[in-house]
A and B are shown apart, each in its own frame.
Chain A
């Protein structure tokens, strides 16, 4: 197991390198550069920006170097823990990311904790009521919630909960995880993957129900609760756990709409703004983190899998 984990960790390095190269290339191939982006609005304020000023900024950030020199310099500094300076904000990238990442991580993890609490029982319930009203209601409802984009659902919920029913104020900003401000964002964040979890759980349970060992367990006289928890759930959870590994990255990095709607200073917003402004160091820094997150979460899933299914060997 340890050897497997070490090999996987080592394999992350070339993979990270490839991802960085692709993102770096795409950034440089896209039209415009960050210096031009910085000054395009300034020009409209009738202030003069000379080419010398722009070149000075480009030189400061190494943007006047050849492509491979820029990339090589970046990788070399990255290996030493230097993520570079943001071009638009003129300050180190790593502290900027470290300041916002925990916020998105807390939101994502809160949604991740709620997902199985809500999704697994609903999946089991749907399987119990297969092809009946309960099944349709659960599956149809989750599909409906997945279909409605969050930037439609969120304002609708705000109107209902804030203006119509006066249940709450509009949550805005980040005041910590254990505040009422996070209830709605976390709820909305988990809605999209919830349908996946419910359907996966439902399918898994239905498959396991028809197996011999479940029939044997019942024949042995085990209580139904024992049959469900020890035999059915444990086997049905295996594919669902795999799903969680794929979901977790999206929960942490993909909440940009929610962060915009609720004014949460999270990782998604930082990433999107960096892309808009062509802030190359910030884009790359965010990419490093997102890539590491995907790789580590997949590693964790792969390590947990054999614990759930002893037939699987690492």
Chain B
């Protein structure tokens, strides 16, 4: 060991020269760190807010949405899709699937997000949707609807059984719908079956028996409605929430039953579900009663919350399939366009909502000015590199009958006109930007693209209208509870998703009873809009008056200038080329997973 006493330099106070050298070394270290951080080559969204431009980017043109389609009329069930037989399959059929959110439960009654990729293949609902929004057999093979639209008769597949071999019956469907509607359900989706007779007392907890659900025998379930619902086959029959375990299991342990190896009816069952250790795996259900049986031997679900980590794992082929969204999805789609597996017609409108009860956005002319001062197309193109369409009306481009391509030509709402905006502001009760009270706004997201988009809006307001008195907080909850939004927030970024049905989408955004109008818009109510929507909702989708009413509602809503559009999102899975027979449906389900296999690679 070196003799520390033999140092040639006697110990003394640090000299000025050595102090300078140390500072240089430290400064070089910091500079190198900055340089390395800036040169990070992991794919990431841009970190600088781009300058406002009016020209398009050079990014690839957005992938077009699925060709226009029609929602299936009531009563129609088509055969399930048959995929090609496995060829050149790998010996290891373990699918590694990654997403960014921790799954806390796998309960159809509560499910609203990341568990949807497989939940309906563990517990089959009465019907499954294919990628064209057709109903295909689930636990039921067929159903009829009475001429008045108030009675549905479901026919259970006589071969349907639970994974322990016991028979699956019509009563199992009835019991599960009742459980989902009951207060025992820890989730909040208890009103999906609200039009079924007897739903009210079950929902209150007065009884478990819903009188509108009658299992006349093991294979027949009769459902009686209190009012006609032209989309009942989507809202209930093909709803993933209504495929579940034996209801008794859930009643006994509503908070953790899925982690106790419950019986399944689908091609897969849970092998392990442990959110604490982030361990989730699924294996084929040996008792599955339909063919084909799954080729996959196991599905491992990986929780990779960090977007950079998931992309590195993707590049390193540690993941066979994944789901990412928002700006992360844009990055992946730009680099690996062949990996896109779209969830057809599942897309949300992102927009900012105005508050009609808080000053100054309670003045329609102020809202008009704020809307006309914003170049929506530039924001959407700049933030999403042309990979996402700018949003327009409530009826998204994924809904049948959408007027997306022509709507902005017909309506002054969609103009970007700074001069018009100035004029409108001067005609408002405030006359000029100087008189406006503080605008409280929020991008309501930690993601960079939403924050930058909001910053662009603010900059356009400043540039075009001279507005500078703005308070911005990152999340809406930073202003308080949702019940406080009407008092505190003028301009709030939210999203609108849902069934790709024109009337449903307009309802969600514009009807006074809908959450967006009631809460985020501060209590927006236009009786004419409500009436048009209600008329459309009650019509069969093949009725010529249906779209007329939906369009009327949309036009009336646009005239109230209730929002500023942002972009239309499109959700997709991403799969490696060796993942074969992999398709997704609108419900986010990998609905051909029973036929998916991994080719040798």
Residue A260 is within 8 A (CB to CB) of chain B in the complex: yes
- Docked-complex contact A43 and B305, CB < 8 angstroms: no
Residue A159 is within 8 A (CB to CB) of chain B in the complex: yes
**CB < 8 Å neighbour of A48 from B22, B25, B191, B256:** B191
- Docked-complex contact B186 and A90, CB < 8 angstroms: yes
Cβ–Cβ < 8 Å partners of B5 in chain A: 209, 214-215, 218, 224
- Docked-complex contact B318 and A170, CB < 8 angstroms: yes
Once bound together, how far apart are the Cα atoms of A261 and B307, in whole Å? 8
Mark the stretch among B55-63, B148-156, B477-485, B522-530 that contacts chain A.
B477-485
- Docked-complex contact B278 and A48, CB < 8 angstroms: no
Q: Which of A1-55 contact B (CB under 8 A)?
A: 31-33, 36-37, 39-49, 53
- Docked-complex contact A262 and B309, CB < 8 angstroms: yes
Mark the stretch among A72-80, A108-116, A128-136, A295-303 that contacts chain B.
A128-136
- Docked-complex contact A90 and B255, CB < 8 angstroms: yes
Q: A117-131 interface mask toward B, CB cutoff 8 Å, 1 = contact, 0 = none?
A: 000000000011011
Q: A128-167 interface mask toward B, CB cutoff 8 Å, 1 = contact, 0 = none?
A: 1011000010011101100111001001101100110000
**CB < 8 Å neighbour of B309 from A42, A155, A174, A206:** A155
Cβ–Cβ < 8 Å partners of A218 in chain B: 5
- Docked-complex contact A99 and B276, CB < 8 angstroms: yes
Once bound together, how far apart are the Cα atoms of A36 and B33, in whole Å? 41
User: Which residue of B is nearest A89, CB measured?
Assistant: B104
- Docked-complex contact B315 and A163, CB < 8 angstroms: yes
Q: B449-492 interface mask toward A, CB cutoff 8 Å, 1 = contact, 0 = none?
A: 00000000000000000000000000011111111100000000
**CB < 8 Å neighbour of B33 from A144, A170, A262:** A144
* A-B residue pair count with CB separations less than 8 angstroms: 182
Cβ–Cβ < 8 Å partners of A130 in chain B: 7, 9, 11
Given contacts A89-B104, A228-B1, A263-B302, contact A131 B481 (CB under 8 A): no
Mark the stretch among B34-42, B335-343, B541-549 that contacts chain A.
B34-42
Given contacts A42-B112, A163-B315, contact A155 B308 (CB under 8 A): yes
Interface of A is mostly: helix
- Docked-complex contact A263 and B278, CB < 8 angstroms: yes
Chain A interface residue count, Cβ-Cβ cutoff 8 angstroms: 68
Cβ–Cβ < 8 Å partners of A262 in chain B: 309
**CB < 8 Å neighbour of A40 from B276, B318, B482:** B482
Cβ–Cβ < 8 Å partners of A214 in chain B: 5
Residue B28 is within 8 A (CB to CB) of chain A in the complex: yes
Mark the stretch among B136-144, B361-369, B433-441, B494-502 that contacts chain A.
B494-502
- Docked-complex contact B33 and A172, CB < 8 angstroms: no
Q: Which of A214-264 contact B (CB under 8 A)?
A: 214-215, 218, 224-225, 227-228, 232, 260-263
- Docked-complex contact B316 and A170, CB < 8 angstroms: yes
Once bound together, how far apart are the Cα atoms of A140 and B24, in whole Å? 9
User: Which residue of B is nearest A53, CB measured?
Assistant: B188
Q: Which of B263-282 contact A (CB under 8 A)?
A: 275-279
Cβ–Cβ < 8 Å partners of B21 in chain A: 136
Cβ–Cβ < 8 Å partners of B496 in chain A: 44
- Docked-complex contact B4 and A159, CB < 8 angstroms: no
Once bound together, how far apart are the Cα atoms of A3 and B268, in whole Å? 61
| Closest chain A CB from B213 CB (angstroms) | 21
Cβ–Cβ < 8 Å partners of B255 in chain A: 89-91
Once bound together, how far apart are the Cα atoms of A225 and B482, in whole Å? 68
Cβ–Cβ < 8 Å partners of A45 in chain B: 112, 497-498
Q: Which of A179-228 contact B (CB under 8 A)?
A: 205-206, 209-210, 214-215, 218, 224-225, 227-228
Once bound together, how far apart are the Cα atoms of A265 and B305, in whole Å? 11
**CB < 8 Å neighbour of A47 from B14, B26, B189:** B189
| Closest chain B CB from A139 CB (angstroms) | 7
Residue A169 is within 8 A (CB to CB) of chain B in the complex: yes
Once bound together, how far apart are the Cα atoms of A209 and B6, in whole Å? 11
- Docked-complex contact A172 and B191, CB < 8 angstroms: no
For A40, A56, A128, the residue with the greatest tally of chain B CB atoms inside 10 Å of its CB is A40
**CB < 8 Å neighbour of A156 from B36, B112, B276, B306:** B36
| Closest chain A CB from B507 CB (angstroms) | 8
| Closest chain A CB from B260 CB (angstroms) | 13
- Docked-complex contact B276 and A100, CB < 8 angstroms: yes
Cβ–Cβ < 8 Å partners of B283 in chain A: none
| Closest chain A CB from B401 CB (angstroms) | 19
| Closest chain B CB from A141 CB (angstroms) | 7
**CB < 8 Å neighbour of A263 from B7, B304, B312, B514:** B304
User: Which residue of B is nearest A51, CB measured?
Assistant: B483
A-B contact pairs, 11 of them (CB 8 A): A47-B191, A131-B9, A131-B15, A144-B32, A152-B40, A155-B306, A159-B312, A169-B313, A170-B312, A174-B277, A209-B4
Kindly list the 3 A-B residue pairs having the minimum CB-CB distance in the complex, ordered from nearest: A144-B29, A140-B25, A36-B481
